[in-house]
């Protein structure tokens, strides 16, 4: 029995060591698609039982023609919607929008408080550190496949005082 315990411990250490030695997959810092540069692509995991996740990124357009993000799909959700967050009279709400324009020579931050991609009806469990595949459809650049790193929800220090934190994305 003693030797079995030692063996079990050895296996556990081996597995732990393996986990450390094999670097977790990481999303590339920047993805190029024609004149577009996509960076800081990440998926916010909900810090509650909500099954919806918000995806963020920064899209730069180095070209001389405007482009538009028209939609997206993901391996982790049945539906992905483009959402815009707005604040009117202190009430924060989000609504689906048909497209997100990226001006020529400009950039759009798809970030908390502005735009986000909403992953609805998750099809698999994701947790911090995982990578989620997202296929973006642009009017000009066409289809672009990116990897989004799953991160925990906004750190407590950055959290708004609003009770309605579910809609703070």
Q: Which residues bind Cu ion (CB under 5 A)?
A: 83, 94, 118
Q: How far is the CB of 35 from Cu ion (least distance, A)?
A: 28
Q: How far is the CB of 167 from Cu ion (least distance, A)?
A: 8
**CB of 39 or CB of 166, closer to Cu ion:** 166
Give the angle subtended at the CA of 108 by the CAs of 94 and 103, to the nearest 5°: 120
**CB of 120 or CB of 137, closer to Cu ion:** 120
**CB of 64 or CB of 88, closer to Cu ion:** 88
Which residues are CB-neighbours of 38 under 8 A, at least 6 positions away? Answer: 30, 31, 32, 57, 58, 59, 60, 136, 144, 146
Helix (H) or strand (E) holding 6: helix 2-21
Q: How far is the CB of 117 from Cu ion (least distance, A)?
A: 8
């Amino acid at each position: 029995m003693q030797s079995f315990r030692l063996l079990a411990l050895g296996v556990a250490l081996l597995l732990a060591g393996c986990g450390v030695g094999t670097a977790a997959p990481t999303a590339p810092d920047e993805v190029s698609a024609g004149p577009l540069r996509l960076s800081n692509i990440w998926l916010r995991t909900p810090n509650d039982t909500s099954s919806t996740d918000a995806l963020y990124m920064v899209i730069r357009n180095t070209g001389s023609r405007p482009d538009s993000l028209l939609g997206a799909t993901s391996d982790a959700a049945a539906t992905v919607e483009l959402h815009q967050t707005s604040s009117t009279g202190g009430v924060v709400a989000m609504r689906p929008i048909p497209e997100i324009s990226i001006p020529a020579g400009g950039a759009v931050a798809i970030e908390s408080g502005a735009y986000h991609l909403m992953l609805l009806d998750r099809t698999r469990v994701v947790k911090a550190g995982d990578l989620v595949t997202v296929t973006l459809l642009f009017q000009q650049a066409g289809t672009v496949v990116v990897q989004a790193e799953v991160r925990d929800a906004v750190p407590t220090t950055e959290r708004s005082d609003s009770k309605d934190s579910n809609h703070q994305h």
